[in-house]
Amino acid sequence: MIVISWQGLPQYAARMIKVFCDQTEEEIQVIGTRPHVAIRGMEEALARPIVWRDETNERLTWGDLGLTVPDIFVQAGWTFQPFVSLGREVKKFGGKVIGLCDNCYRGDLRQYVGSALFRLFYRANFDAMLVPGQSAKRLMTLYGVPHARIACGLYGADPILFQRGPSLVCRSKTFLFVGQFIKRKGVDILCRAFVHVHQKYPEWRLRLCGDGPLREQFIGLPGVIVDNFVQPEQLPEIYHQARFFVLPSLEENWGLVVHEAVLCGCALVLSDVVGAAHDLASSANSVLCRPGNEETLYHALCDAVAWDNAHYESAQSESYDKAKQFGPAQFATALEGLIQELRVI
C-alpha cells in the first residue's frame, strides 16, 4: 500500500494525486490536514475519500488512523510531528519514506547550519525526496540526499483547468497579483511602486485577487482594482485578462501561482527569490528584481510596460513552453519513478 500525506492539502495537490492514482493499480490512501482557505470539491477532485486530521503537532500512529503500516509513505515535510511519527513507524517496519520538500536554495549561513542539523537528525528518516524544481533540488543535495534520489515535480497547476488564453497584445494593460495580502508577499511594496507607474502610464491597471490583513490599505489607490479570493475554477479567466503576473515576494519557496500564470500565457514580473523563477522565468518572458525594494520594483514594472508586440509574442510562447515542465502528469511520473527505484533496492 502507498500512503500520501499532505499538510494543508490544497485542491491542486488533489488533482495531482488523482493522476498518480489513475495510472497505478496499487492501493492508495491520502491523509491530509485541511487548507487554511475554504476550497470546495476536494474529494471530488481526488475522486476518493481523504483521511482528514486536525492541525495539531502531536504524535500519530498508523493504529490511530485504523490503517496498516504501508510499504511506501510519502511524507509531507520533515518537522510536522504527526507525519514524522508515521514515517518513523514505516521505517521501523522496513518500509520506504519519500519526503516532500518545497524549501528553495538560498545559500546563506542558516541553510548551511540547517544542512548539518538535517544530516544529524532527519536524513535517516528519508529514502528519497520529491521537490518542486531545480532550486529545491540543489538544497536537498546540500542536505545530503543523493542526487539520483531527488525528483522534481512536487508542485504544478492542472493544464486542464488553466488553459491557454488570448494573445498578450490583445489583453488589457493589466498587472495581476494573486495571493495573500500579507507582508511576505510584497504586495504592499507592489502597490506603492505601481501608484508611481500609474502616474506615468495611466492606461495601466494593477489587479489584486485574494484576501488578507493588508486588504484595506489597497482599496481606493489610483489604478488598483481589489478583488476577493475566488475558487480555483474562476482563476483562469482572471489570468486571461492580464498581460503580466506579478509576484514580488520577500520569500517564496516556489509559487504555484507562477505556474498557473504561465499556463495561461502571462508574462512575469518576479522578485528573484521566488523559487519558481529558476524553472519558469527567463529573459524572454519575465523581468526579475530584488525583493523588498520599492524603487527596484518600480523600474521592473516600467521595463515591462516598455515591451513591444514582438516581445509579447516571444514571451507568451516562452511561458507556454516553460509551463510544460510541471503539472499532474509530471508529478505522477516523478513519484512513480522514485517508488520504482526504492522497490528494487
SS (H, E, C) 71-85: CEEEEECCCCHHHHH
Q: Give the integer Cα–Cα distance in Å for 51 and 33.
A: 9
* pLDDT, tens digit (0-9, with 9 covering 90-100), for 113-154: 999 999 999 999 999 999 999 999 999 999 999 999 999 999
* pLDDT, tens digit (0-9, with 9 covering 90-100), for 293-339: 999 999 999 999 999 999 999 999 999 999 999 999 999 999 999 99
Q: Which CATH class is domain 2-156+326-343?
A: alpha beta
How far, CA to CA in Å, does 172 sit from each of 95, 175, 207, 305, 317?
53, 9, 11, 12, 18
The two beta strands, 224-227 and 72-76, are: unpaired
Question: What are the domain boundaries of the chain?
Answer: 2-156+326-343, 168-323
* pLDDT, tens digit (0-9, with 9 covering 90-100), for 209-222: 999 999 999 999 99
The C-alpha angle 309, 315, 321, rounded to 5 degrees, equals 145
* pLDDT, tens digit (0-9, with 9 covering 90-100), for 236-265: 999 999 999 999 999 999 999 999 999 999
Partners of 4 in beta bridges: 30, 74
- All three cell numbers of 67: 490503517
Alpha helices in the chain (DSSP H): 11-22, 42-46, 62-65, 81-92, 109-121, 134-142, 187-200, 215-218, 235-240, 256-263, 277-280, 294-305, 309-323, 328-343
Quick one: what percent of the chain has pLDDT higher than 70? Answer: 99
Topology match between the domains 2-156+326-343 and 168-323: yes
**168-323 architecture in CATH?**
3-Layer(aba) Sandwich (3.40)
Alpha helices in 151-287 (DSSP H): 187-200, 215-218, 235-240, 256-263, 277-280
| pLDDT at residue 40 tops 80 | no
The candidate with the shortest Cα–Cα distance to 253, out of 144, 135, 151, is 135
Overall pTM surpassing 0.95 (yes/no): no
